[in-house]
Amino acid sequence: MTMRQAIALFFVVSLFVGCSGSPVKPPPAVAQVSGTVLLDGSPMSSGQVTFTAPGQPPKSVDVKDGKFAGEVHAGKNLVEVTSAVDAPNPMDPKGPPVKRNKVAGTYQGPSSPLKADVPESGKADLKFEVKTGR
């Protein structure tokens, strides 16, 4: 074996060893959730509840007639609630309507006060109460 072949073999072996050196993380656990969303004290007609566990992508669950059910990441989740309605376009009042979130901004983003600790076995009694944005 020439020096050039030995160096090439070293790099090929290093490439394979380097790529398989770290253990593969198992996918995050998911769990079934269900519950209710009240908007100003009444069941929210439609919208979404979004659950975000640290280090995981958000998972959204649809709300219909105040109820929701779906699969989210287990663990401590930040919860956001949205409900889009048609509203006049402020840039073109005669144009087509635009979507506007009728839930107060307090319930979106990293500072949302809503939280859910979801065990791997799931959680069926979640209740979120939100207010209309002014």
Given this model, what pLDDT does residue 15 score? 54
30-130: CATH topology: Immunoglobulin-like (2.60.40)
- Token duo for residue 87: 């509203």
Q: Is 30 helix (H, G, I), strand (E, B) or coil?
A: strand
Going residue by residue through the chain (134 aa), what tens digit of pLDDT does each one get? 676 665 655 665 555 555 555 566 676 799 999 999 999 999 999 999 999 999 999 999 999 999 999 999 999 999 999 999 988 888 898 889 888 899 999 999 999 999 999 999 999 999 999 999 86
What is the torsion angle, in degrees rounded to the nearest 10, for the CA atoms of residue 110, residue 115, residue 117 and residue 121?
Answer: -100
Question: In one letter, which amino acid is 8?
Answer: A
Given this model, what pLDDT does residue 52 score? 97
Given this model, what pLDDT does residue 89 score? 87
> Other C-beta atoms within 10 Å of 23: how many?
6
Give the DSSP per-residue string, 84-109.
Answer: EEEE--TT-TTS--EEEE-B-GGGSS
Given this model, what pLDDT does residue 90 score? 86
Give pTM, 2 decimals: 0.76
User: Which regions of 1-134 does DSSP assign to beta strands (E)?
Assistant: 30-39, 42-43, 46-52, 59-64, 67-73, 75-82, 84-87, 98-101, 115-118, 123-130
